[in-house]
Amino acid sequence: MHEEVIISGFGGQGALFAGQLLTYAGLAEGRHVSWIPSYGPEMRGGTAHCTVIISDEPIGSPIIYRPTSCIVLNPPSFEKYEPLVKPGGYLIVNSSLVRQKSARTDITVVEVPANDLAYEIGNVRVANLVLLGALLGINPFVKLESVIQALEEHVPEQRPAYH
């Protein structure tokens, strides 16, 4: 197993946080992991993305050119990463914000109204986790239980929004 994931959105949408949780989950399952964050020129409102690699084998390079999966939280992320997803891969789209449709027929595209669902469950800050759950629902390369464990272990009690 070797998964290469890009999670991207505006700063403040939790792209980096979702990537960290995914990385911690892979680590908890005894896998080799890599997580690289990238920030745009602004802390909040600018672009932010991260790359995550989870593998059963040692990771030769943390650089991702053709991700097996992408989670896109906003329109600019869709435009940038939709063409890069490896054929046979997965594109998880926040359809609450991204109106554009993918014309690709060689990938699985899952549109999830993540902001709307997060609002319905009472916490607009968890749209990132809704999308992460959607990815793992169709491509369970780590267990959802491992992500929940990572959430419990790595989120301080002072941040009740995630508990």
2-156: CATH class? alpha beta
Domain boundaries, the chain: 2-156
Alpha helix ranges (H) inside the chain: 15-28, 75-81, 114-120, 127-138, 144-154
pTM, two decimal places: 0.90
C-alpha to C-alpha distance for 50 and 160, rounded to whole angstroms = 24
- The tens digit of pLDDT for each residue in 34-82 reads 999 987 665 556 679 999 999 999 999 999 999 999 999 999 999 999 9
* pLDDT on residue 163: 44
Q: What angle do CA 84, 89, 93 make, to 5 degrees?
A: 75
